[in-house]
Amino acid sequence: MTATPAMPVPTRPGRTARVPLAAAGRLLRLELRRNVMLWLLPIVAALFWLVTYRPAMAYPPLWNVRAMTMQTSASAVFVPTVVGAAAWLGSREARHGMTDLLSGVSRPRWVRQLATWAATTCWALVAYLGCVAALYAVTAQQGAWGGPLWWPAAVGAASLPAFSALGFAAGALRPSRFTAPLVAVAAFLALELTAQFIQGDDSPWQVSPLVAGPWEIGADHGVATFYRYLPDLPIVQLMFLAGLTAALLGVLGLPAGSGGRWVRRFTAGLTTAGVLAAVTATALAGTGRLDPHGMIAIPALHNPANDRPVPYTPVCGDTPIPVCLHPAYASYLPTLTAALEPVLGELAGLPGAPARIDQAAATYRQESGNGVSISSAGPAMRGTPPTLHLLLPFQLARSATTDELTSELRTNTAREILNSVIGGDRRRTTDAQQAVAAAILKTSTLPPGSPTANAAQRFAALPPATRHAWLTRHVAALRAGQLTLAELP
Amino acid sequence: MNVATTDLTRRFGRNVAVAGVTLDAGPGVFGLLGPNGAGKTSLLRMLATVIPPSSGRIRLLGRDPGVYGQRRQIRRRLGYVPQNLGFYPGFTVVEFVEYFALLKELPAAEVHRAVAVAVERVGLGDKATAKLRTLSGGMLRRVGIAQAIVNEPELLLLDEPTAGLDPAQRVAFRALLRDLGQQATVIVSTHLVEDVGAACTQVALMDQGKIVFHGTPDELVARGAGTTAAGDAPLERGYSAVLAEAGS
Amino acid sequence: MTVVAAGKPPAGSARGGLRLLRLHLSSRRVPAALAAIAACAVVLRIALLWQWDAYGALQLPLILETGCAVAIAVTTASPFGEPERATGRWLPLLRLGTALTLTAAAVGALAVAGIGAHLAGGGLDVLRNLAGLTGIGLLCAAFLGGALAWAAPTAYLVIAIYALYTQWHGPALTTPWIWPARPPHDLGAAVCAGLVFITGLAAIALRGARDAANK
């Protein structure tokens, strides 16, 4: 036994306090240079091109569609990659047998882990923002009306620290060769499961970053053009993701050996605050309702100022009856005018014909489950001079190619315009109205050889000027359902 | 004393790795000898604050490693090369050493110079930008030593540091040890008794978790003199004689 | 221990062979992989108790098939590295047997999990998708190392999920190389998946997973 006197040891005061940020910066730079996420960036870029960019470019240049696509489909690209890379780095110390060596250093383990997580997250964010920049730059170059929507991009960006923290925590707390792959796949599964659980506009699962608006209609052409993009759901999602990030990072600091008393107290507080934020956000998402403009409003966060319509100057086609669209949909105008011009030429100048056709804003209504009904608000024909307000096919949550759109315009939209002048609808139509409609629309839905089909053929064979003159004289009677087939010329 | 342990014990389940070690060490190079499984690595891991003792008392650099704040101060002044040195294969030599300099809380302004000095001291200046995956085993060992000395430690713990080094490197390493021992307490666990003879001022011999000899290398040599203990060199004979006595 | 045993299996001794097999499986963490496969099957079974829309019903098995495939792929990592490579002729057979056995176990577990429930695509789909995904994982292990073998199957999962999505929101991706998006009886898709699986098996049996730098 040897008695050991406690020797005062000279300390080196202020050694670390002077430039802690510079040291943290160097540590981060070092982690950035040697981060596995850097090597995954080409894979991310390729997946982004295939899964997000290419399909987004198939849509017309609409900020709403491009932004919402960026939020939802880019999540699918980034989540498994970021979670896997973060879990891989989280288990790095154990995998490389560095645990003993690193246990003997003075900087708290939590700080060290934070640097690795931050570097992984930085690269993921750089990649994500690069993808956003590419998509938005091309959208702007294509002449999209309005400005870029930042809320969906912000939600997508905020999901990266959260998923990175999830992967990192799993890798650090349970290092094994199975952790990175299984957590990456499980995170992807969890993300997809949240989508399955969404039932209606008041589902708490809408807090998932995969959701940008009512789940069933997805990246809808009709929202956030006539009215603003509501920030309610994005705010809740950001709160949830920030909470999740904080809670998961906090959990890393809870085990003994993560740091001193203050570090562990701080991380316990961070975990608690994170859990509270995430739970609150989920509860808020559960109070959502579908607003008439097609977005999820959260009453506690809703700002009525966001309900005001966005002013715009319509763009109109050079047709006998001008067809005017919201400028965001200007790219549809050539297709629209080409499809409707023959019908509009027949109708122009007839008594009761609209002086102009305007695109209307859609009104959205939640139905049972995830069903959403989309309709036009108010009567179709209104105003002085009379203007026909129409919902166009691309506002009805249906994606369509140009050919499909043309066909839809020729059959449904043209018929709707025609019906507004000659009367009748799909349920109550007189034979005379049917024959005139078939003649003008040049459709062949009538039974061949039937009296109505024969009358339609006869009417269609008239010279346009004769047909127009007859319609000018008889359109009121035709609309009132007072004409018979025999009275058609 | 920079190292002072009293009745230090460490158990892993039922196995007692270190059984009541009392040890004092001041500046100088301290050799820790012993057969496989004697408890040297467990003792060094406790001194490196990697694992806590099951019982007993440790004071390192005048501080109690059981208290977080003091442990952190100790670690700023500590260098440690474990027996199985892990490394990040994608890091370069400089990056690896810099990483440890930053984790040992060297001020950012000093890091660049300290890393360069440490890398030069282990003779890896020409390999500074080489990735660790490209280095030989001996070079990796030297990288491990470089990270341990980058903070100019007051307490340096080396577990089998010369394993994998060629004879010339070992000679250079012993010189480095002697140099470091001028200011710091250097504890070297090794099987190579010639390292002890060449570099150590003090030597302890462990067997079955206990210290069975503590003295100078000359005193260890004296224990073997005139005996029939196995060994080609005087130190080896001393080593064998002490172990034979401890076992009897 | 496996290294020693792998080099010298007692000739003609079934007991020695079994011991070698047991040690090899243990060194590759095969019991843990089997546990992961069982967990995937349990998750699938539980999930199939719910009502899924057509899209979700196709996605769900694919994600869990990927889970099984990555668990199989990461078992290829050897903890021994070069010393093991320098041993006798049994190693390729052991690698081949391990990969085949685990793939069969995974197909069986997922197919059993789908019995009595509506498993989209059925057992044939599970067999094709899992074999193809495992093949990708084995090839990835041969080129990047066993520990990173999960990267390619996970990336492929994203592509396959997107390809399934394009069946509803065209234009559909119909190349047989994205076999999960093809119907279960599609010959081209089955050939592609089989080809990838056989190539992966051959690579892992003959070459083994690339060794990590610090092993």
What is residue A97's DSSP assignment?
T
Label residues B45-76 b or e (16+ Cβ within 10 Å = b). Answer: bbbbbbeebeebebbbbbbebeebebbbbbbb
What is residue A380's DSSP assignment?
S
Q: Tell me what pLDDT residue A2 has.
A: 36
C212: nearest CA partner in chain B: B89
Put simply, whether A23 touches B (Cβ < 8 Å) is yes
- Outline where A225-260 has alpha helix (H): 232-252
Domain assignment present for residue A8? The answer is: no
Please tell me the total number of residues recorded for chain C in this structure: 215
Report how many domains make up chain A.
3
CA-based nearest distance B43→chain C, Å: 26
pLDDT in tens, A100-136: 889 889 999 999 999 999 999 999 999 999 999 999 9
Q: Tell me what pLDDT residue A13 has.
A: 39
A1: confidence class by pLDDT, cuts 50, 70, 90: very low
> Which partners does chain B have (≥3 C-beta pairs < 8 Å)?
A, C
Question: Given a cut of 90, is residue A215 above it in pLDDT?
Answer: no
Q: Tell me what pLDDT residue B248 has.
A: 67
Phi–psi pair at B29, nearest 5 degrees: -100, 125
Tokens of C121: 């695509």
**Nearest alpha carbon to residue A346 among A225, A206, A442:** A442
Sign of the Cα torsion B196, B146, B129, A105 reads: positive
**Nearest alpha carbon to residue C22 among C1, C47, C50, C43:** C1
A178:C169 CB<8 A: no
Q: Which helix (H) or strand (E) holds B10?
A: strand B3-12
- Outline where A3-62 has alpha helix (H): 20-33, 36-48, 54-58
CB contacts of C75 in chain A (<8 Å) are 177
Q: Which CATH code of 3.10.580.10, 3.40.50.720, 2.60.40.1840, 3.40.50.300 fits the domain covering B1-77+155-212? A: 3.40.50.300
Say if residues C206 and C189 touch (Cβ distance below 8 Å): no
First to last CA, chain A: 126
CB contacts of C32 in chain A (<8 Å) are 176, 178
pTM assigned to the model:
0.87
Tokens of A417: 């315009």
Q: Where are the beta strands (DSSP E) in A291-426?
A: 296-297, 315-316, 323-325, 356-359, 362-366, 372-376, 381-382, 387-390
Q: Tell me what pLDDT residue A398 has.
A: 65
Lowest mean pLDDT among A235-249, C20-34, C185-199: C20-34
CB contacts of A177 in chain C (<8 Å) are 29, 74-75, 77, 146-147
Tokens of A267: 């991380």
Q: Tell me what pLDDT residue C202 has.
A: 95
A63-90 vs C151-166: helix crossing angle, rounded to 10: 160
What number of other Cβ atoms are within 10 A of residue A127's Cβ?
25
Sign of the Cα torsion A90, A94, A97, A103 reads: positive
Question: Given a cut of 50, is residue C80 above it in pLDDT?
Answer: yes
User: Domain range spanning residue A475?
Assistant: 425-489
C213: confidence class by pLDDT, cuts 50, 70, 90: low
Domain assignment present for residue A1? The answer is: no
Q: What's at A418, amino acid-wise? A: L
CA–CA gap between residue A439 and residue A425 (Å, rounded):
16
Q: Tell me what pLDDT residue A8 has.
A: 35
**Nearest alpha carbon to residue B38 among B17, B24, B22, B53:** B17
B98:A30 CB<8 A: yes
Domain assignment present for residue A127? The answer is: yes
C67:A196 CB<8 A: no
Pairing of the two strands A387-390 and A381-382: antiparallel
CA–CA gap between residue A473 and residue A351 (Å, rounded):
9
Question: Given a cut of 50, is residue A9 above it in pLDDT?
Answer: no
CA–CA gap between residue C38 and residue B202 (Å, rounded):
58
A185:C67 CB<8 A: yes
Average pLDDT, chain A: 86
CA–CA gap between residue A139 and residue A65 (Å, rounded):
10
Per-residue pLDDT of chain B (248 residues; tens, 9 = 90+): 789 999 999 999 999 999 999 999 999 999 999 998 899 999 999 999 999 999 999 999 999 999 989 999 999 999 999 988 889 999 999 999 999 999 999 988 899 999 999 999 999 999 999 999 999 888 999 999 999 999 999 999 999 888 778 888 888 888 888 888 988 999 999 888 888 888 899 999 999 999 999 999 999 989 888 777 777 788 888 999 998 888 76
Place of tokens 């839809």: A408
> Which partners does chain A have (≥3 C-beta pairs < 8 Å)?
B, C
> Which residues pair with residue B5 across a beta bridge?
B23, B58
What number of other Cβ atoms are within 10 A of residue A10's Cβ?
9
Average pLDDT, chain C: 86
Pairing of the two strands B78-81 and B185-189: unpaired
Domain assignment present for residue A11? The answer is: no
ipTM, interface predicted TM-score of the complex: 0.88
pLDDT in tens, A416-471: 888 888 876 656 778 888 888 888 887 767 777 788 888 888 888 888 888 888 88
Let me know if A380 is exposed, middle or buried by CB neighbors in 10 A (0-12, 13-18, 19+): middle
Label residues A250-289 b or e (16+ Cβ within 10 Å = b). Answer: bbbbbeeebbeeebbeebeebbeebbebbeebbebbebbe
Alpha-carbon B56 to chain mean position: 21
CA–CA gap between residue C47 and residue C120 (Å, rounded):
12
CB contacts of C77 in chain A (<8 Å) are 177
A194: confidence class by pLDDT, cuts 50, 70, 90: confident
CB contacts of B133 in chain C (<8 Å) are 213-214
Q: Tell me what pLDDT residue A17 has.
A: 45
CA–CA gap between residue A486 and residue A474 (Å, rounded):
13
> Which partners does chain C have (≥3 C-beta pairs < 8 Å)?
A, B
With residues binned 3-state (H G I as helix, E B as strand, rest as coil), the percentages for chain A, rounded to 5, are 60, 5, 35
Annotate A258-296 with DSSP letters as a single string: SS-HHHHHHHHHHHHHHHHHHHHHHHHHTT-EE-TTSSE
Say if residues B81 and B145 touch (Cβ distance below 8 Å): yes
Q: Tell me what pLDDT residue B118 has.
A: 95
How far is CA B164 from each of CA A187, B122, B157, B160, rounded to the nearest angstrom? 44, 14, 18, 9
**Nearest alpha carbon to residue A186 among A199, A171, A200:** A171
Put simply, whether A5 touches B (Cβ < 8 Å) is yes
Q: Tell me what pLDDT residue A160 has.
A: 96
B108:A26 CB<8 A: yes
Q: Tell me what pLDDT residue A477 has.
A: 83
Q: Which helix (H) or strand (E) holds A127?
A: helix A109-141
- Outline where C114-206 has alpha helix (H): 122-144, 151-166, 187-206
A80: confidence class by pLDDT, cuts 50, 70, 90: very high
**Nearest alpha carbon to residue B51 among A273, C208, A103:** A103
Put simply, whether C51 touches B (Cβ < 8 Å) is no
Place of tokens 């390292």: B195
What number of other Cβ atoms are within 10 A of residue A231's Cβ?
19
Sign of the Cα torsion B161, B162, B163, B164 reads: positive
C47: nearest CA partner in chain A: A193
Sign of the Cα torsion B182, B184, B185, B186 reads: negative
CA–CA gap between residue A363 and residue A215 (Å, rounded):
16
Determine the 3-state secondary structure of A45 from DSSP.
helix
CA–CA gap between residue A455 and residue A332 (Å, rounded):
35
Q: Tell me what pLDDT residue A403 has.
A: 75
B85: nearest CA partner in chain C: C214
A3: confidence class by pLDDT, cuts 50, 70, 90: very low
Say if residues A109 and A259 touch (Cβ distance below 8 Å): yes
Lowest mean pLDDT among A362-376, C116-130, C146-160: A362-376
Question: Given a cut of 90, is residue A18 above it in pLDDT?
Answer: no
CA-based nearest distance A35→chain B, Å: 9
What number of other Cβ atoms are within 10 A of residue B225's Cβ?
11
* Whether residues A321 and A239 fall in one domain: no
What number of other Cβ atoms are within 10 A of residue A6's Cβ?
11
For chain C, which residues make up each domain, given as ranges? Answer: 2-206
> Which of A50, A97, A399 lies closest to C162 in CB terms?
A50
